[in-house]
Amino acid sequence: MHNGLSIDDRAVSTVIGAILVLAVLTTFLTALQAYYIPSLAADHEVQHMQDVKRSFSEISSIAVSESSVDMISLPLGDGGLPLLSSLSSSGTLTMDPDAGWTEVMLTNVSRKKEKIYLDGNPKTIVNVLSVSDLVLESDNTGQYSVTISPDNSTNDTIEVQVGSVDTVNVTLHKNSTFPTSKLISAATSPPGSNVVLDLLNPAFGFKYMLEDAENTGPFTLTFDGPASGMFHVFYEKPAYTLQDRGSSVGNVSLNFSAGYFRYRASNNFWIDQELIFENGALIIGQGGCSAVRSNPFIKLDEDGSVLTLWFFDLVGEKESVSGNGMATVTMESKNHRELIYPYVENTSITMHSYAPDAFETYMYDLSGGNIYRNNDTITAWFENKTVRIIQSDMSISFV
């Protein structure tokens, strides 16, 4: 009989095995917590930033669509990792309509071409000397009119009645001393589904009304009609006209508001970034620097002869929202206005921007290095261009 304590080898091995399993499990959980979950969370936040970027790309598309009200959903945060981590990134949306501006100086300008977009309200051009092109374009039935007001007291009017795409009636109304013998009304049958009508066709007689008005001095043109129609008008004003109309004949200064719409991320495992919509550009900001990720609507055509400037004036109240849920962004692009200057000797564009680094790099490449920067303001120069300027108001709100 043995009175001392005995050790069961099988019990010892069980305890040691349990300790080893616990050690392996602890090491695994530590590695999971230290490496795997942060890496997975970082990937999740990167994917979230890509989702936000896609939402901002939609904003750029809506800006040029001339559409009615559109809405997009934008995730402020990534929502965390299901079953692994409830820690979610967050973000802040800000709309500031007063944050920036652009000034365009056109030196030595000759003539001007404009598209008049109709929205059911009369549109007016004042102080006109002559008109060399006047075209109505529409895919909508209704009554369109152009009125000449030589002295704002007597009017000559051309009315275009679009009853269908097959028959268009053109009627003239004489209120001034225009010769009755030249008063012509006509009907035409334009082909296709859209009406494209040259209103200066001598068959309509309106050309002679304009010539009569041109002989009396500057006059006013008023355009009216239902929405979705437009008039293309090529005209001259005193500032742009000399006896030799190919000469350098005037200067134009145009000012545009800008503003910005911005998402600022607050990430836990990935770099904090900003996504910015300003003047048509999608810009990414990081660490105090910014870069263009999709081009603004400031560009040269393939042969470099036409400079297109599309400015978006953000309208609405300055507002901001933060969180990690979904935000609904409502947008509307409206009040499009287009101007064409067929020849401009020198064009300077001065931009005061929230993201000057991005626009400096972009404008440097576009202008061939003709650029100057002063803090947040960039000026670029272009010589001997046809300049096409489009302006749109864009309202943005979100909840």
Q: Which two tokens stand for residue 327?
A: 């935000």
Do 277 and 211 sit in the same domain of this protein? no
- Strands 306-315 and 377-398, by their bridges, are parallel
Q: Within a domain: residue 75?
A: yes
**In the listed set 199, 214, 240, which residue is the last one of a domain according to the structure?**
240
Closest by CA position to 319, among listed 63, 98, 93: 93
Bridge partners of 385, per DSSP, are 344
> How many angstroms separate the CA atoms of 135 and 194, rounded?
13
Three-state secondary-structure class, residue 86: coil
Do 226 and 124 sit in the same domain of this protein? yes
Q: Within a domain: residue 11?
A: no
Do 264 and 390 sit in the same domain of this protein? yes
Do 58 and 120 sit in the same domain of this protein? no
**How many C-beta neighbours within 10 Å does residue 247 have?**
11
Q: Within a domain: residue 17?
A: no
- Strands 260-266 and 90-96, by their bridges, are antiparallel
> How many angstroms separate the CA atoms of 135 and 198, rounded?
5
Domain count, the chain: 2
Do 203 and 97 sit in the same domain of this protein? no
Mean pLDDT, consecutive 10-residue stretches, the chain (399 aa), reads: 56 64 62 60 80 84 72 82 67 91 87 79 82 82 77 62 63 58 52 72 78 79 81 70 40 88 87 89 87 84 89 88 88 82 88 92 90 93 90 85
Do 97 and 154 sit in the same domain of this protein? no
For residue 264, give Cα distances in angstroms to 13, 223, 275, 326, 354.
57, 44, 7, 14, 13
> How many angstroms separate the CA atoms of 43 and 49, rounded?
10
Q: Within a domain: residue 123?
A: yes
Three-state secondary-structure class, residue 107: strand
**In the listed set 240, 275, 306, which residue is the last one of a domain according to the structure?**
240
Provide the residue range defining the domain that includes 224.
Answer: 112-240
CATH classification at residue 231: 2.60.120
Closest by CA position to 291, among listed 350, 348, 374, 363: 363
Q: Within a domain: residue 235?
A: yes
> Can you list the pairs that 172-180 forms with residues at least 24 positions away whose Cβ atoms lie under 8 Å?
172/204, 172/205, 172/206, 172/209, 174/209, 176/150, 176/212, 177/212, 178/208, 178/209, 178/212, 179/208, 179/212
Do 64 and 159 sit in the same domain of this protein? no
Do 174 and 232 sit in the same domain of this protein? yes
**How many C-beta neighbours within 10 Å does residue 394 have?**
23
Cβ atoms of residues 396 and 329 within 8 Å: yes
**In the listed set 212, 240, 268, which residue is the last one of a domain according to the structure?**
240
Cβ atoms of residues 106 and 342 within 8 Å: no
Do 263 and 212 sit in the same domain of this protein? no
> How many angstroms separate the CA atoms of 212 and 150, rounded?
9
Do 258 and 201 sit in the same domain of this protein? no
Do 260 and 391 sit in the same domain of this protein? yes
Half-sphere CA count of 354, side-chain side, radius 13 A: 25
Q: Within a domain: residue 316?
A: yes
Do 92 and 149 sit in the same domain of this protein? no
- Kindly calculate the radius of gyration of the chain based on its CA atoms and give it in whole angstroms: 32
Bridge partners of 382, per DSSP, are 347
